[in-house]
Amino acid sequence: MHHESDRTVVLTGGTGFLGTFLLSGLLERGYHVTVLGRSSKSLSLSDRLSGIVRWLGTNPEARLSAVEADFSKNHLGLDETTYRHLCASAGKIIHCASDTSFSERDRKRVMQTNVNSLSVLLAFAADTLVDHLYYISSAYACGRCEGICLETPIANDSFTNVYEESKAQAERIIRLRCKDCGIPLSILRPSIVYGHSETGMALNFNALYYVIRSLLYIRDIFIKDIAAHGGERSKKWGFQLDDAGILYMPLDIYLPSGGTVNLIPVDYFVDSTISIMEHAGMDGIYHLTNDHPPDMSTLIEYTQRFLRLRGVRAICDISQKTTPNPAEELFDHFIDPYRPYLSDRRTFDRSRTKTVPGCIDSPPLTYEVFERCMAYALASNWGKAVGFPK
By the criterion CB under 6 A, which residues form the site for ligand NAP? 13, 15-19, 37-38, 71, 96-100, 113, 136, 138, 167, 190, 192-193, 203-204, 207
Tell me how far apart the alpha carbons of residues 122 and 113 are, in angstroms, rounded to a whole number. 13
**Considering the complex, what minimum distance in angstroms separates the CB of residue 264 from ligand NAP?**
8
Count each helix (H run) and each strand (E run) in the chain, helices first: 14, 14
Least distance from ligand NAP to the Cβ atom of residue 228, Å = 37
**Amino acid identity of 300?**
I
Of residues 35 and 249, the one with the C-beta less far from ligand NAP:
35
Q: Which is nearer to ligand NAP, 113 or 304 (CB)?
A: 113
Smallest gap from residue 26 Cβ to ligand NAP (A): 15
The span from the CA of 61 to the CA of 353, in Å, is 32
- What end-to-end distance do the CA atoms of the chain give, in Å? 39
Q: Which is nearer to ligand NAP, 34 or 204 (CB)?
A: 204
Of all residues in the shown chain, the one whose CB is closest to ligand NAP is 16
Q: Which is nearer to ligand NAP, 16 or 91 (CB)?
A: 16
Q: Give the nearer residue to ligand NAP in terms of CB position, either 16 or 294.
A: 16
Beta strands 347-348 and 148-149, pairing class: parallel
Residue 113 CB, nearest distance to ligand NAP (Å)?
A: 4
Instruction: Give me the least distance between CB of 92 and ligand NAP, in Å please.
Output: 16
CB closer to ligand NAP out of 208 and 218? 208
Crossing angle between the packed helical segments 367-379 and 296-307, to the nearest 10 degrees: 60
- Rounded to whole angstroms, the Cα distance separating 83 from 187 reads 25
Q: Packing angle between helix 367-379 and helix 208-229, nearest 10 degrees?
A: 70
What element of type H or E holds 34? strand 32-37
Amino acid at 9: V
Distances (CA, A) of 181 to 6, 127, 178: 20, 10, 5
Shortest spacing between CB 65 and ligand NAP, in angstroms: 16
